[in-house]
Amino acid sequence: MGYPSKNHTTHNQFHKWHRNGIKKPWSQRYKSLKVVDPNILRNMDPSRKLSHLAFTAHPKLGKRIRSYMAKGRRLCQPKPKVQTKAEAKAPAQAPKGAQAPVKAP
């Protein structure tokens, strides 16, 4: 008799949860917050995205970050395919199943 299949595991989740470090709870500065449980922020990705957008809009620092972003986009573009001389001279073939052109009488 074999083992049942494993449907759930928390392998590597701890590292994902604390990818940006373990944050302290927010300080409760106001009486209205005494009832609310302070959240321990785990992943800061959405806020990082917003701060990144603010960084690009910055008058002094935006030029540098925009150049970095443009360089990254250039590096991610697909490379153009190099044609050999035989491929360049060969005529283009019609797709499979296409009709041959008919000459007018």
- Domain assignment present for residue 70? The answer is yes
pTM tops 0.75, yes or no: no
Answer yes or no: is 80 within a domain.
Answer: no
Confidence of residue 55 (pLDDT cuts 50, 70, 90): confident
Q: What is the pLDDT of residues 57-70, one digit of tens each?
A: 888 888 888 888 88
**Confidence check: pLDDT of 83 > 70:** yes
Give tens-digit pLDDT for 15-33: 888 888 887 776 667 666 5
Q: Is 5 a domain residue? A: no
In a domain, 97, yes or no: no
Task: Report the alpha-carbon distance of residue 53 to residue 65 in Å, rounded.
Answer: 10
Q: Is residue 66 part of a domain?
A: yes
Total number of domains constituting the chain: 1
Count CA atoms closer than 13 A to 76's CA, side-chain side. Answer: 6
DSSP-assigned letter for residue 93: P
Q: What are the E-state strand segments in the chain? A: none
